[in-house]
């Protein structure tokens, strides 16, 4: 077998890789669910660990030759226990391949098919894997203003709504915040077997103690999905669900700054069932190279530098939100407690799809998003979601956030009257607009000052 490097072995893939590296280096990646991993994490993920099959768990494998893999998996587990300050009777699984399979494994492990689960309404910021379904009257979910409860619909979009009966709680129509009293009322009426918190676009912290009381008062398990906040929670800059939730799931590639993967934490008796749900229930051999990357990323997360980083992530998002507000952007919930800012673009007249595209031409990568009380389809929703994990990893701080808000406003000023324009024409006009080109140039100069260690 050839042992050529990528450049000589496969020019096609090499060139695509180089183009992606250049883009990551020259643009501001501001999608809240993304981050930039260290060289050590990337080295571990690209290592020979990818070659080994190890179905089973440490010291109980189905194949021989797993002595080093056992050591690796146990090390990742030990570090996760330390980072999340787990009580003695909690255990860890690092084998779930990503956030969605991690959630599914928890349902498989603890519920029966058809049991009722209750998570946050997707357009308000929940996640597909918390049981999303809707009635296909239009492209979007039915818009029912001023209600706190959604019973789901006929179109079972996610496997979690196909296999389980999914109902959802919404945020308060005025404040866009979780209303724990309402959630409690719904829980008492619906009597779900599992209540889930967490999501993709809820900018505020969660009262985990209150949620656990609600779940346990109706005999439900409480699953806290901290996919987005994992790094911030472990670093102590946000509330922790550990000690309140029965199970905690997370992705490892967002604020935790590891490679793609997942970690599940939970009470030991429940984790036994969840472990069996992952293997042999749902998966075969674990991705040992991913587990290696997660172990390395957790070591980095246990340092004082990471604590400082996590604090700065939140500070940066708060400064960004404040600055954007001064330019007349409407910030959902008036600010943020974490790494993400959700902007309601209704008052600007140009919505998420076109604004996100215009920003990309200007060197700022963000994403269109639904928002509470959403009336528009998910493919062209009312909001934009921006986040600070990646640009904070680059070393950017408050002054850069102010500059980024200014650029975002300049781009909005260019495009705000173009909502009705055909999308192809919109692309051409934005790409060639002198102010957009100028901002892109200025962004690339800023990015050069904060290079990524590629
Ligand atoms: C709250 C939440 N849960 C689960 C997931 C799913 O993670 P993955 O994309 O790794 O399947 C995400 C991803 O964005 C998420 O935000």
Q: State whether the beta carbon of 227 lies less than 6 angstroms from ligand 1.
A: yes
Report pLDDT digits (tens) over 173-232: 999 999 999 999 999 999 999 999 999 999 999 999 999 999 999 999 999 999 999 999
392, exposed or middle or buried, with CB in 10 Å at 0-12, 13-18, 19+?
buried
Q: State whether the beta carbon of 200 lies less than 6 angstroms from ligand 1.
A: yes
Cα 412 to ligand 1 centre (Å)? 29
Q: State whether the beta carbon of 231 lies less than 6 angstroms from ligand 1.
A: no
Mention every residue, 6+ apart, whose C-beta is less than 8 A from residue 68: none
Cα 200 to ligand 1 centre (Å)? 7
Mention every residue, 6+ apart, whose C-beta is less than 8 A from residue 15: none
Report pLDDT digits (tens) over 402-423: 999 999 999 999 999 999 999 9
Q: Which residue has the tokens 């507000």?
A: 325
pTM over 0.85: yes
| C-alpha distance from residue 181 to each of 130, 147, 186, 187, 219 (Å) | 21, 14, 9, 10, 17
Q: What is the pLDDT at residue 424?
A: 98
Q: What is the chain's pLDDT, residue by residue, as a tens digit (454 residues)?
A: 889 999 999 999 999 999 999 999 999 999 999 999 999 999 999 999 999 999 999 999 999 999 999 999 999 999 999 999 999 999 999 999 999 999 999 999 999 999 999 999 999 999 999 999 988 765 455 667 778 998 898 899 999 999 999 999 999 999 999 999 999 999 999 999 999 999 999 999 999 999 999 999 999 999 999 999 999 999 999 999 999 999 999 999 999 999 999 999 999 999 999 999 999 999 999 999 999 999 999 999 999 999 999 999 999 999 999 999 999 999 999 999 999 999 999 999 999 999 999 999 999 999 999 999 998 988 999 999 999 999 999 999 999 999 999 999 999 999 999 999 999 999 999 999 999 999 999 999 999 999 999 9
Q: What is the pLDDT at residue 199?
A: 97
Q: What is the pLDDT at residue 146?
A: 74
Cα 287 to ligand 1 centre (Å)? 18
Closest protein CA for atom 4 of ligand 1: 99
Cα 4 to ligand 1 centre (Å)? 36
Q: State whether the beta carbon of 251 lies less than 6 angstroms from ligand 1.
A: yes
Q: State whether the beta carbon of 225 lies less than 6 angstroms from ligand 1.
A: yes
DSSP string, 259-295: SS-EEEEEEHHHHHHHHHIIIIII-SS--HHHHHHHH
Closest protein CA for atom 9 of ligand 1: 99
H or E element in which residue 165 lies: strand 165-169
Cα 95 to ligand 1 centre (Å)? 15
Crossing angle (nearest 10°) for helices 208-217 and 180-190: 20
Q: Give the number of other Cβ atoms within 10 Å of residue 15's Cβ.
A: 11
User: How many Å apart are CA 375 and CA 381, to the nearest integer?
Assistant: 8
Q: Which domains does the chain have, with CATH numbers?
A: 25-35+312-449 (3.90.1150.10), 52-301 (3.40.640.10)
What is the arrangement of strands in the sheet containing 149-150, beginning at the earlier edge strand?
90-93, 262-267, 247-251, 221-225, 194-197, 116-120, 165-169, 149-150
Q: State whether the beta carbon of 196 lies less than 6 angstroms from ligand 1.
A: no
Q: State whether the beta carbon of 100 lies less than 6 angstroms from ligand 1.
A: yes
Mutate to test the pocket of ligand 1, among 129, 197, 223, 278 (most ligand atoms within 8 A of CB): 129
Q: State whether the beta carbon of 240 lies less than 6 angstroms from ligand 1.
A: no
Instruction: Please identify, by atom number, the ligand 1 atom nearest to the C-alpha of residue 261.
Output: 10
Q: What is the pLDDT at residue 139?
A: 46
Closest protein CA for atom 7 of ligand 1: 99
């Amino acid at each position: 077998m050839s042992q050529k490097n990528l450049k000589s072995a496969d020019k096609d893939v090499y060139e695509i890789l180089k183009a992606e590296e250049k883009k990551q280096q020259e643009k501001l990646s501001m999608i809240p669910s993304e981050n930039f991993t260290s060289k050590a994490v990337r080295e571990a993920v690209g290592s020979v660990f990818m070659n080994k099959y190890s179905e089973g768990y440490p010291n109980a494998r189905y194949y021989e030759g797993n002595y080093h893999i056992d050591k690796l998996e146990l090390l990742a587990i030990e570090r996760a226990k330390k980072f999340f300050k787990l009580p003695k009777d909690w255990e860890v699984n690092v084998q779930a391949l990503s956030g969605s399979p991690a959630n599914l494994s928890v349902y498989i492990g603890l519920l029966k098919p058809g049991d009722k689960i209750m998570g946050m309404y997707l357009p308000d910021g929940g996640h597909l894997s918390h049981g999303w379904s809707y009635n296909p009257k239009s492209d979007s979910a039915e818009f029912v203003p001023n209600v706190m409860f959604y019973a789901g619909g006929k179109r079972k979009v996610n496997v979690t709504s196909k296999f389980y009966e999914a109902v959802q709680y919404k945020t308060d129509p005025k404040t866009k915040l979780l209303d724990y009293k309402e959630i409690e009322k719904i829980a008492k009426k619906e009597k779900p077997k599992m209540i889930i918190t967490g999501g993709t676009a809820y900018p505020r912290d969660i009262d985990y103690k209150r949620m656990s009381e609600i779940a346990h008062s109706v005999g439900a398990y409480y699953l806290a999905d901290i996919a987005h906040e994992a790094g911030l929670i472990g670093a102590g800059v946000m509330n922790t669900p550990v000690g309140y939730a029965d199970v905690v799931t997370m992705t490892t590639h967002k604020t935790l700054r590891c490679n793609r993967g997942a970690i599940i934490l939970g009470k030991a008796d429940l984790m036994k069932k969840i472990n069996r749900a992952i293997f042999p229930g749902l998966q075969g051999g674990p991705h040992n190279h991913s587990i290696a990357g997660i172990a390395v990323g957790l070591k980095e997360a246990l340092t004082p530098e990471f604590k400082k980083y996590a604090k700065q992530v939140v500070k940066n998002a708060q400064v960004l939100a404040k600055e954007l507000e001064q330019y007349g952007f409407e910030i959902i919930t008036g600010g943020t407690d974490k790494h993400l800012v959700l902007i309601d673009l209704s008052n600007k007249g140009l919505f998420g799809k076109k604004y996100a595209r215009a920003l990309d031409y200007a060197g700022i990568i963000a994403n269109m998003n639904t928002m509470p009380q959403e009336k528009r389809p998910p493919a062209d929703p009312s909001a934009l979601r921006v986040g600070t994990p990646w640009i904070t990893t680059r070393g950017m701080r408050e002054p850069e956030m102010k500059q980024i808000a200014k650029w975002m406003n300049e781009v909005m000023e260019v495009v705000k009257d173009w909502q009705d324009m055909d999308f192809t024409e919109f692309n051409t006009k934005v790409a060639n607009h002198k102010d957009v080109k100028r901002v892109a140039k200025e962004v690339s100069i800023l990015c050069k000052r904060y290079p990524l260690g590629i």
